[in-house]
Amino acid sequence: MKSIDESDVGIFCYISQLPGFRGILKQRYSDFIVNEVDLEGTVVHLTSLEAPAELVEEKEVLVADQPNKNYDAEIGSFRALAGDFNADMLKALLDQTVSGGGVEIEPIVLSPSSDKSHRTAVHNFFKEKLKFLVTDTIDGPDATSKCIRVRLNGGKSHGRHSFKKRKDRDDKPYDGRGSDNWPEHLGKYLRFHLYKENKDTQEALGLIGKMLGIQPRSFGFAGTKDKRSISTQRVTVFKQRANRLAALNERLIGIKVGDFCHVNDGLLLGQLHGNRFTVTLRGVVAESEAVIEASANALGKLGFINYFGLQRFGSGSVPTHLIGATLLRGEWKNAVDMILDPREGEKEAVGKVREYYKDTGDIEGTLRQLPRHLVAERAILQRLKRSPGNYLQALKSIPRTLRMMYIHSYQSYLWNHAASMRVQKYGIDHVVLGDLVYCKEHCREAERGANYSEFEDGSSNDTSNHIDEISEADLPEEKDVTVKVITEEDLSAGTYTVDDVVLPLPGSKVIYPMNDIEEVYCDLAKKDAIGLTESVHAVKEFSITNITGAYRRVFLKPKEFEWELLTYKDGNIPLAETDMDLISKSQKLKNVRGEDCGNGKAGEQLIDNGRQSCVSAIMDSAEDEAGSDRAGSHQTEVYDSADIEESQKALRLSFTLPASGYATMAIRELLKTSTSVAFHKTLNP
């Protein structure tokens, strides 16, 4: 099966009838910049890499500070709790800790236990009696037991002692979620801004977590961002110091952290207003500049159809909505095969692992070769190893947010088709009888609830990558009271406009339009042998009748919309400033002030390998374009000093969308071409 195109998932229509033009989306990942917008409407930027000075330093209890302390009493208490064998191991660990000698101190692993209450008592013992030691739980020798691992707090070096490097430990990371001695004046969560280049959110946080020695679940964030982009977003982490994270900046490549502060609550999915996008389309070719101007202005004024973009359905040759349909039909083995089987378009190494499993059925050997980012595949195989043939349990072992993604993807597939039919049948200008709209008195509440915790635009929804989170808990609770069906009285009163029209994502608590659009849902679901009002199986989470559902606006207008036509010659020069460009430029300016500018070299110090100087020239020259007669736009020429390549045009767009909006669908409206990765690769020179 080939990779999907827009028509495969119901994306057919446009709002404007203007002609499109050629433009390459994401020729460079720096052509797609995403800045999160928080709930207060503030655009999130990385402005500082420094850790702020804190009023009170954490007073850790270090073994090195108490070299002569006797722990006989604590060991005696632990012996009564955990037995002689475990007590002897603890004594050896404590003796090694206080004795010195420069020996690397390894963690100890206590005897397996299947008694959770006993394990809890052991954890509490260390929290109360030996606070300089921390514990976490790891898998035991069988499926019913767990072991407690004990180590020095934070895995840091105390005096002359240190642990082995991470590469010398086993694969299970420590769960260092912080100490009970946290200062009362600091919030328990450190909030910071995460800047990343060409990495997805989970990948970046996974790397930071490894460096800190903490589990990925210690982090909180409001939404995932696209891998092929430069993005900045807020992240929280439990009980960590700003100076520890700031110290990582020297070692991190393509990732930076900064703008630290302590807060009382961690971030949850969906806690954002939206995203600010800066998108540069390169290699723009049109009949005339007037065509580009008319199309850009139309996008800002009229908006676009609020389709779920292709990212929603995965980037591989097995679309997530087809897996979702298989789950809704209760075909558990088929669903497992669709997730595990070889597929087109993947890297050769991944394809070989899939082929190996399909040919041999060797779970153990496949797991040894399977890349760790294949989360769903690993979870399924691990469960099948323990419970051969139990395909339903294998599917349920996939992290909930990921396995529900398949169902949500099918809902989105139905919604896209319904939206296309609404435009084709009733147009884009007026509400019609039977349309669904948000009730005016509930509009503000409804809009807040209707975000549906969508993937941030550009976030890869592919199951072969890290999980891009969706949470059903973020759905509005009472969707049936926030919408109404348009009546003749409403049409006469003119209370509602086409901007108020919504369509449902199928679920148990939604209503459908009382016109022909309802048939789209029923006909497509019936064709897929899926019932929207009753399920063919008893597994609730894989049934639309057990999902609440939601509503989504059919039409969306970008906010704070701006556009700019550029001329450039060197395709390797970025055409938009990033947060790190601004930080670097600020630092360069500080350095210049301290040097003799009379030697004629001060200006050269602002040039960072040709990267930021041209961008600075763009921004400076743009301020001089006051004579432009195009609102929110101007034209700038950007030339490389070599001046040897033929000049090309680029269109740079900046706009804000709600969390559920897809910037790629706005670009589609502008260009009137497909937004698929495969299509835009064909445009690259």
- Annotated catalytic sites, by residue? 226
Q: Which residue has the tokens 């926030």?
A: 482
| Greatest extent of the chain over all pairs of C-alpha atoms, in Å | 88
Question: 92 vs 66, 152, 169, 174, 185, CA distance in Å?
Answer: 17, 13, 19, 21, 37
Residue 219 · residue 255 · CB < 8 Å: no
> For the sheet containing 133-139, what is the strand order?
108-109, 146-152, 133-139
Distance between CA 284 and CA 647 in Å, rounded? 11
Rg of the Cα atoms in the chain = 28
Backbone angles phi, psi at 32, to 5 degrees: -130, 100
Mapped onto helix, strand or coil, the DSSP state of residue 656 is strand
- The length of the chain, given as a count of residues: 685
Among the listed residues 229, 303, 304, the one whose alpha carbon sits nearest the alpha carbon of residue 11: 304
Distance between CA 319 and CA 312 in Å, rounded? 9
- What tokens appear for 77 in the block? 């208490």
Residue 46 · residue 579 · CB < 8 Å: yes
DSSP characters over 386-416: HSTT-HHHHHHTS-HHHHHHHHHHHHHHHHH
Among the listed residues 526, 507, 459, the one whose alpha carbon sits nearest the alpha carbon of residue 229: 459
Q: Give Cβ neighbours of residue 512 (< 8 Å, ≥ 6 apart).
A: 436, 504, 518, 521
Burial class, 450, CB count within 10 angstroms (exposed 0-12 / middle 13-18 / buried 19+): buried
Among the listed residues 280, 334, 349, the one whose alpha carbon sits nearest the alpha carbon of residue 638: 280
Residue 362 · residue 353 · CB < 8 Å: no
- What tokens appear for 304 in the block? 């676009």
Specify the amino acid at residue 134.
Answer: V
Residue 550 · residue 450 · CB < 8 Å: yes
Burial class, 251, CB count within 10 angstroms (exposed 0-12 / middle 13-18 / buried 19+): exposed
Q: Give Cβ neighbours of residue 431 (< 8 Å, ≥ 6 apart).
A: 437, 486, 490, 491, 496, 497, 498, 500, 501
Question: 90 vs 127, 148, 241, 336, CA distance in Å?
Answer: 15, 12, 29, 45
